[in-house]
Amino acid sequence: MEKTILSGIQPSGKLHIGNYFGAMRQHIRMQEEGDAFYFIANYHSLTSVNEGKKLDRFTKDVVLDYLALGLDPEKCTFFAQSDVPQTTELAWILGCLTPVSLMEKGVSYKDKVAQGLSPNIGLFTYPILQAADILVYNSDLVPVGEDQKQNIEICRDLAGKLNFTYNEELLKIPEDYIVKSVAVVLGVDGRKMSKSYNNTIDIFDEGKTLKKRVMSIQTDSTPLEDPKDPETCNVFALIKLFADEIEQKDIAEKYKAGGYGYGHAKKELLALIKDYFADAREKRKQLEKNMDYVFDVLREGGKKARERAETVMEPIRSKTGLFRSF
């Protein structure tokens, strides 16, 4: 039987090239490899975005980004998390089996609070909602970056707990599937690219904004005429993501030969980024003019996702003794 692949991405701001190479590209590739479910994790974003208009805008942006970059609704089920209320229902049931001490071990909560996010209960129990996302579709594989490893372990733990408590295989325990194809993408300041560090180059940045971001990449102060080491340069690290092998070799030679400044490298990077996302940029503009189609995609995806979720929830309601009069 075809494996169910599931992953989600939060709509909490513009998506950047770290998100693309670290997560989205793999999602798009994997739609060819199984029965893929991809969703916009808008319930999760409520943990940090508390302005309705903003969350709505971010959600539509992520939908447009994914479709423009090649997610194909004919090949996968693409939907918004809030279109599947069974998710929060399962999250509550799982929460009633989750020891507080398990959440207290969560590194991501601590990281986010350290970065200035409000320490709300939603943020604290984020991994339980994520577990529900995964389990409510009987997922087999969950392609995520290394940073999500603990959340997937918690998910497996909670599925086991529910099955054990009710003495029945009500939830499928997903395989650990960490995508390792890309190391961490670095931001313009050389730290991990992240919207919380304000060091991103966004996928759909254009014109002056894109140029300004690329030109702001931090480099050392080796003079233009001196040879440079490409392997220690932030600009070259990004060039490697966009250039093919021949182009990479060619640029590396120029670094080593000297007479080639970081400004030159940045210009090459800028051209590479423009070229790499040119088709997606065009497609996104077309999609933006056709929002009816975009909503149809979400409606269809949501319907399919709800149907699947209901088949998992129905026996759980019955086994847990939850009363329903409709």
Is residue 241 within the footprint of ligand TRP (CB under 6 A)?
A: no
Is residue 134 within the footprint of ligand TRP (CB under 6 A)?
A: yes
- Contacting ligand TRP (CB under 6 A), which of 35, 61, 65, 133? 133
Site for ligand TRP in 5-44 (CB under 6 A): 6-10, 41, 44
Q: Which stretch binds ligand TRP (CB under 6 A): 89-97, 114-122, 129-137, 202-210?
A: 129-137
Nearer to ligand TRP, 130 or 234 (CB): 130
Q: What residues contact residue 97 under an 8 Å CB cut-off, 6+ apart?
A: 158, 161, 162, 165
In whole angstroms, the minimum distance from the beta carbon of 138 to ligand TRP comes to 13
Structural contact between residues 125 and 103, judged by C-beta atoms closer than 8 angstroms: yes
Q: What angle do CA 176, 182, 185 make, to 5 degrees?
A: 120
In whole angstroms, the minimum distance from the beta carbon of 186 to ligand ADP comes to 7
Nearer to ligand ADP, 193 or 251 (CB): 193
Nearer to ligand ADP, 152 or 171 (CB): 152
196 binds, among ligand ADP, ligand TRP, none (CB under 5 to 8 A by kind): ligand ADP
In whole angstroms, the minimum distance from the beta carbon of 131 to ligand TRP comes to 8
Residues with catalytic function: 112, 192, 195
Q: Which stretch binds ligand TRP (CB under 6 A): 2-10, 172-180, 287-295, 316-324?
A: 2-10
195 binds, among ligand TRP, ligand ADP, none (CB under 5 to 8 A by kind): ligand ADP
Chain position whose Cβ is nearest to ligand TRP: 8
Nearer to ligand TRP, 9 or 159 (CB): 9
3-state helix/strand/coil string of the chain: CCCEEEEEECCCCCCEHHHHHHHHHHHHHHCCCCEEEEEECHHHHCCCCCCHHHHHHHHHHHHHHHHHHCCCCCCEEEEEHHHCCHHHHHHHHHHCCCCHHHHHCCHHHHHHHHCCCCCCHHHHCHHHHHHHHHHCCCCCECCECHHHHHHHHHHHHHHHHHHHHCCCCCCCCCECCECCCCCCCECCCCCECCHHHCCCCECCCCHHHHHHHHHCCCCCCCCCCCCCCHHHCHHHHHHHHHCCHHHHHHHHHHHHHCCCCHHHHHHHHHHHHHHHCHHHHHHHHHHHCCHHHHHHHHHHHHHHHHHHHHHHHHHHHHHHCCCCCC
Residue type, 93: I
The residue ranges that bind ligand ADP (CB under 6 A) are: 9-10, 18-19, 22-23, 144-145, 147-148, 182, 184-185, 192-196
Bridge partners (DSSP) of residue 40 are 9, 80
In whole angstroms, the minimum distance from the beta carbon of 42 to ligand TRP comes to 10
Query: Number of C-alpha atoms within 13 angstroms, CB side, residue 75?
Result: 12
Nearer to ligand ADP, 106 or 261 (CB): 106
- Contacting ligand TRP (CB under 6 A), which of 86, 130, 199, 234? 130
41 binds, among ligand ADP, ligand TRP, none (CB under 5 to 8 A by kind): ligand TRP
44 binds, among ligand ADP, ligand TRP, none (CB under 5 to 8 A by kind): ligand TRP
Give contact residues for ligand TRP (rule: CB under 6 A): 6-10, 41, 44, 130, 133-134, 142, 144, 148, 151
